[in-house]
């Protein structure tokens, strides 16, 4: 048996496959594994810079913190010619409240 065929056979064994996978994973860059950058949250009544736009995740977090409720759903909807985030929240007293957040300003209504 040649060294080449021996190497090929060992690469096909379960242990060989594991070794190949580990070698390939070690060589991959570790981008995106660190902590994500912290984006300041807009406070109610405060505007966020026009160059920034609040993400749906940020808006959902803001609504949860302001209402103390549990988020039931969150989606981006069109209101005329602009987009708003429509977030349904279950409040402590059992009521469901629909909050709309303007992604450009961070204002809740």
The total number of structural domains in the chain stands at 2
Residue 53: the pLDDT is 85
pLDDT at position 20 over 90? no
List the structure tokens of 54: 């609040």
48 with 77, same domain: the answer is yes
4 with 25, same domain: the answer is yes
Give the residue, 73 or 50, on which the prediction is more confident: 73
Task: Evaluate whether 83 touches 76 at the Cβ level (below 8 Å).
Answer: yes
Mean pLDDT score, 42-70: 78
The whole domain housing 81 covers 41-109
Whichever domain contains 76, its CATH number is 3.10.450.40
29 with 45, same domain: the answer is no
Helix, strand or coil, per DSSP, at residue 1: coil
97 with 80, same domain: the answer is yes
Neighbours of 82 (CB within 10 A): 9
Give the residue, 20 or 89, on which the prediction is more confident: 89
Rounded CA-CA distance 84/91 in Å is 21
């Amino acid at each position: 048996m040649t060294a080449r065929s021996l190497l090929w056979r060992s690469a096909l064994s379960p242990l060989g496959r594991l070794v190949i996978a580990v070698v390939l994973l070690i060589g991959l860059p570790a981008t995106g594994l660190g902590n994500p950058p912290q984006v300041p949250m807009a406070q109610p009544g405060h505007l966020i810079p026009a160059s920034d736009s609040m993400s749906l995740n940020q808006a959902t977090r803001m609504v949860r913190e302001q209402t103390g409720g549990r988020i039931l759903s969150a989606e981006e909807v069109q209101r005329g010619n602009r987009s708003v985030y429509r977030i349904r929240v279950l409040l402590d007293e059992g009521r469901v409240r629909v909050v709309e957040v303007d992604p450009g300003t961070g204002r809740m209504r």
